[in-house]
Structure 1
Amino acid sequence: MSPANSPDLSNESQYDRTRLREWARGRARSAGVDRRDLLRLFAAGTAAGALGLGSAGTAEATAGTTTITPADPRPAASPPGILKPLPPELFTIRGTNAETNFAALHGTGQLTPLDRFFVRNHTSTPRLDPRSWQLKVWGDALSRGPVEFSYDQLRALPAIERTLFIECAGNGRSFYTTQQGQQVTGTAWTLGAIGTAHWRGARLSDVLRRAGATRDAVDVLPRGLDDEVVTNGVNLGHVRRPLPVSKALDDVILAYEMNGEPLPPDHGGPVRVVVPDWIGISSIKWVGDIEVSGQPLYTPWNTDLYRLFGPDQPPQGSAPLTRQTLKSAFELELGATVPAHRTRLLTGRSWSGAAPVHRVEVSTDGGARWQRARLHDVPRRGAWVRWSLPWTPRTAGATALLARATDATGRTQPATAALNTQGYLFDAVVRHPVTVV
C-alpha cells in the first residue's frame, strides 16, 4: 500500500477496522495461536459467521457468543486463585473474579483502597518475585535483537505518576438482563468492576525507544505471565492484546506502584500495563514480554472477544473495543431501606473514557424529575468524579434512584444501552432500587 493510500493508523477506529480486515483476509498474523484454531474457536461462537471467516468446505456458524468466564450471579464460597482477603462486606465473588461492592467505597476518597480494588483474573494470580522478574522486548520492528529490562532497570527510568481508573469492559453487564430483559454472556458484574488508583511507573514509550523500536512498528503486544487460557478445547495462550504503536508511544504506563505501594500480586505485580481510558483487557497484568511488530497482529482478545456482536451492531461486528464508556453509580446497597422524613446525603461516582465528567444529575422519583448533584472533584480525564445530593424522602414505598452523567464531549448517559451479545460497555442510566419506610 502506497503512503498516499495508507489509512491513518493514529486514528483508533480506522486502526481497528483496518486490522480487522487484514486479519480476516489472512494479511495479519495471529500472535501465538494458529489461525485454524482461532477459526475452530469462532465456529463455537460468533465469529466464523459474523466475520465471514468461513472457508470452502467449512459450514458457516450460526450466530452465538463465546465467553471465557460464564455468568454466575451467585456469590461463590471462595474464589480460586486470588491472594488478598475478600470479605463479603467488600466484595462479591464471581467465578475467578471479585467485584467491589460499590457501597463499600463510601467515604474512601477519590482513590480506591487496595483492599477494595476489584480483581479480574482470566485464570489465577501468579506469585512473581521482582528480583527475578524480567521484561523482554522483542520483535521484527526493533533495530537490534531482544532487549531485557530487570525490575531495578525499569525503576531507574524516568517515572511518571497518574491517577487513572481501570474498568472491565463488561462492567454493568448484568443490567442488560435485569433492567432491559436481554440475555447476554459473561461475568454478571453490577457496577463494581472498576477502581481508581494513583499509578507510578515507566513510560512504555521510553522502554520502546531504549529497545530500539523503529518507524516500521505498527503493533505493540504486551503479554501476561499468568497461566494460559483454554476455552472450547483451544489453548489461547497467555492473555495479550495488541496496541497501535501510536497509543503505545502516547500515554501508556508500565506501572510498578499503586497508591504509593509496590504493585500487589492480584493487581498485576510486580509490573503491569496501564492504558488510560481504554477497556481493562488492554491493561495487561503481570507483563513479561512485549512484541514490537512491523506486521498487524491479532489475538483472541480483539477478534472474537472484546468486540460487539448482535442485532444492534454492525452486520460484520464492531471494531475491537478501545475506549471505555460513560457510567454513574450510587455508594448505596442495591435494595437499601431508608427512613422517611429524614434527610440523608446521597453519594456516588461518575466516569467516562472519552472526556472529563462535568455534570451529574440525580432523580429520586424514578426519573420524573432531575436535580443537579454537587461535584466534589475537579473533573479530569481518566478519573471519576465524586458527587452528592441531599434527599429527604416523603412517601413510604418502593422507588428507584437514578444518576446520569454528562461528559465534556456533550454525551449524556442514555435511558437504554444498545444490545450486544457479550454484554460489553453498558452505559445506560441504572435504576437503583430502594425502599422508603
Structure 2
Amino acid sequence: MQSSQKTGAKSYLITKTLDPENQETPIQFIHKDFVTEKLFYRRNHFSYPNFVSSFYWLSIGGLVNFSRTFSLEEIQALPSKTLKSVLECAGNKRGFFKPMVFGEQWQKGAISQGIWKGVSLRTMLRYTGVLEAAKEVVFEGYDFGVRTDSNDLTYFSRSLPIEKALHPDTLIAYEYNGKPLPFKHGFPLRLIVPEWYAMASVKWIKKITVIDHEFKGPFQAVDYVYYPKKDSDEGKLPVTTMKINSTIQQPIDRQILNTGFHTIAGIAWTGRGVITKIEVSVDGGMTWSFANLVQSPEKYAWVRWEYKWEVFEKGEYTILSRAMESEGGKQPKEAVWNRKGYGYNAIDTIKVKVE
C-alpha cells in the first residue's frame, strides 16, 4: 500500500463550496494519527471572520460569581492540557443517505484528527465561579452571516449542558499539532469537545455565557437536530455524541487490482468508549474476518486497522467494514435516515475489480 506521504506526491482538499469554504480531507491518503493543517477538512456556515485588532480578549459572564475577561496571554499561562481527538462533521457521509437529503453532500472526508493543546474550560470557570442555577454554557464565535431561513445577521453560537462544559477534557484550545491554532481552524481560540460531533467545537470564540435555560439559537434548535420524519418535527432529537463508524481508505472505491496480496486498510472511531474490534468482509457480507488494529485504541481518537487479503480469482468484489466498541455498540447495516442528513454510520462499502 502506498500513500502520498511515502511517494512524495501531494494530496489536496476536495472542494465542496468556496464561500463559505467547505472542503473535505482526502481521507484515503491519510495514514497517520493526525492530519496536517493543509489537509484538515474545513466546515463553515459563513465567510471567515475579520479581526479588527491584533489584541484578543475572551469574556465569561452570565450566571457566574464574577464576570471576567481574559487576555490570550493569561489563558496561555494557565495550566494546560494536551489531547488527541477526532473532529467529525455531523454531516460526514451525508451523500450516502437514501433517499438523498439536502445539504452539503459530504462523502467520507468531513473528518480529521489532531493533537490539541489548551486550557480546560473547567479550569477557567474556577476563576469566575458558576451559580447553582446554571444549566448550559453558550459559546459565540466571531463568524456571522445571514441564514437562508432569515434576514437577520446571526453569529454562530452553540451551547453545552453544564456537566459537559465542566468535563475536564472540554478544552479552550490554542495549539494544534504543536503549533499555534491556524486561523482557518479557529485562531486564536476554539472549543474542543471530545466525543461530540464537531459543530460543538465552536471556532473563533468571542464570548462565553452561562445560562439557566435551554439555548434556542438556530444552530442548536433548528440545525444539528435529528428529524426522523420528512414532513414533521415529531420525534426530533439533538445531535450530540458521535456514532460508531468506520471508513475503508485503501483500496479506493472502483479501483482495479491485480490478483495476489493486498492490504485493506482504514480507520474507525466512536463517541462512546474505544473501538475494540473491526470486521472486514470481501464477499459482500456473507462472511466476516477480524482486521488487525495498527495501534492500541485510545479514547477520543480514531484507530487505524489493516486486513491482509489474498485474492487469486478475477472478478468484482464488494468489501465491507464494521466496527465494535467497548460500550457494546456495533456499526449498523443501515444508518438511521433523518431529513438533515446527520450521523451517517452504516457499514462502509466499496467495490473493486480484480483482473
With the length of structure 1 as denominator, give the TM-score of the two structures.
0.74
**Residues 184/406 of structure 1: CA separation in 2 closer, same or farther (3 Å cut):** same
The CA distance in 2 between the partners of 1:129 and 1:408, in whole Å, is 47
- Quote the offset at 1:334 in angstroms: 4.0
Residue 124 and residue 273 in structure 1: after superposition, are their counterparts in 2 closer, same or farther (change >3 A)? same
Task: Tell me which amino acid in the other structure corresponds to 2:14.
Answer: T
Task: Give the structure 1 partner of residue 330 of structure 2.
Answer: 412
Of the structure 1 ranges 349-358 and 364-373, higher mean CA displacement relative to structure 2 is found in 364-373
CA distance in 2, matches of 1:403, 1:312: 29
Shift of 1:233: 3.1
2:151 is equivalent to residue 234 of structure 1: yes
Residue of structure 2 in register with 1:171 after alignment: 92
Give % identity: 32
Partner of 2:69: 148
The structure carrying a bigger strand percent of its residues is: 2
Shift in Å, 1:333:
6.1
- The change in CA–CA distance for 1:293 and 1:311 in structure 2 (over 3 A counts) is closer
Residue number in structure 2 paired with 1:263: 181
Q: Deviations over 1:40-59 (max 9, x none)?
A: xxxxxxxxxxxxxxxxxxxx
How far apart, CA to CA, are the structure 2 residues paired with 1:138 and 1:369?
Answer: 57
Q: Contact 1:242 / 1:298 at 8 angstroms: preserved in 2?
A: no
Could you tell me which residue of structure 2 aligns to residue 215 of structure 1?
132
Q: How far 1:244 moved relative to its partner?
A: 0.8
C-alpha deviation, 1:310, in angstroms? 2.7
The answer to whether 1:382 aligns with 2:300 is yes
Partner of 1:359: 277
Alignment of 1:260-299 (within 5 A): 260-299=178-217
Candidates 246, 250, 270, aligned match of 1:328: 246
SS in 1 for 2:96: helix
1:374 and 1:312 map into 2 onto residues whose CA distance is: 40
Please, which of 337, 345, 354 is the counterpart of residue 427 of structure 1? 345
Counterparts of 1:360 and 1:312, CA distance in 2: 33
Shift of 1:313: 11
Distance 1:170 1:426 in 2: 7
| Whole-Å separation in 1 of the counterparts to 2:84 and 2:299 | 9
* Residue 198 (1) aligns with residue 198 (2): no
Secondary structure of 1:242's aligned partner: strand
Map of 2:4 onto structure 1: none
Q: Distance in 2 between matches of 1:418 and 1:383?
A: 24
Task: Deviation per CA, 1:244-295: give whole Å up to 9, x if none.
Answer: 1111111310000001010001111111000110111100011110111133
- Alpha carbons 1:127, 1:265 under 8 Å: kept: no
What is the aligned counterpart of 2:35 among 99, 112, 122? 112
TM-score scaled by length of structure 2: 0.91
Change beyond 3 A, Cα 1:312–1:431: farther
SS of alignment partner, residue 247 of structure 2: strand
CA distance in 2, matches of 1:413, 1:366: 16
Higher helix content, 1 or 2? 1
What displacement does 1:338 show?
Answer: 3.6
Unaligned 5+ runs, structure 1? 1-86
Alignment partner of 2:237: what SS? Answer: coil
Closer, same or farther: CA 123–174 of 1 in aligned 2, 3 Å: same
Tell me, which stretches of 5 or more residues in structure 2 are unaligned?
1-8
Deviation at 1:214, TM superposition (A): 1.9
- Secondary structure of 2:123's counterpart equals helix
Instruction: Determine which of 72, 83, 88 is the counterpart of 1:162.
Output: 83
CA distance in 1, matches of 2:82, 2:23: 26
The Cα shift of 1:318 comes to 2.6
- Out of 50, 56, 59, the residue aligned to residue 136 of structure 1 is 59
* Alpha-carbon distance between aligned partners in 2 of 1:128 and 1:380, rounded to the nearest angstrom: 37
| Number of the residue aligned with 2:12 | 90
The structural deviation recorded for 1:208 is: 1.6
The one of 122, 129, 139 equivalent to 2:45 is: 122
State the partner residue of 1:21: none
Change (3 A) 1:312 1:427: farther
Q: Deviations over 1:58-104 (max 9, x none)?
A: xxxxxxxxxxxxxxxxxxxxxxxxxxxxx994321112300011112
Structure 1 CA distance for aligned equivalents of residues 342 and 39 of structure 2: 23
Residue 338 to residue 130, structure 1, CA distance change in 2 (3 Å): farther
Question: Which deviates more from structure 2 when the two are superposed, residues 324-333 or residues 357-366?
Answer: 324-333
Q: Could you say which residue in structure 2 is the equivalent of 1:55?
A: none
**Superposed displacement of residue 124, structure 1:** 2.3
Deviation sequence 1:169-212 (CA, Å, 0-9, x none): 11111111xxxx31212111111111111100011111122123
Q: Distance in 1 between the 2:80 and 2:69 partners?
A: 18
Tell me if structure 2 keeps the 8 A contact 1:201–1:255.
yes
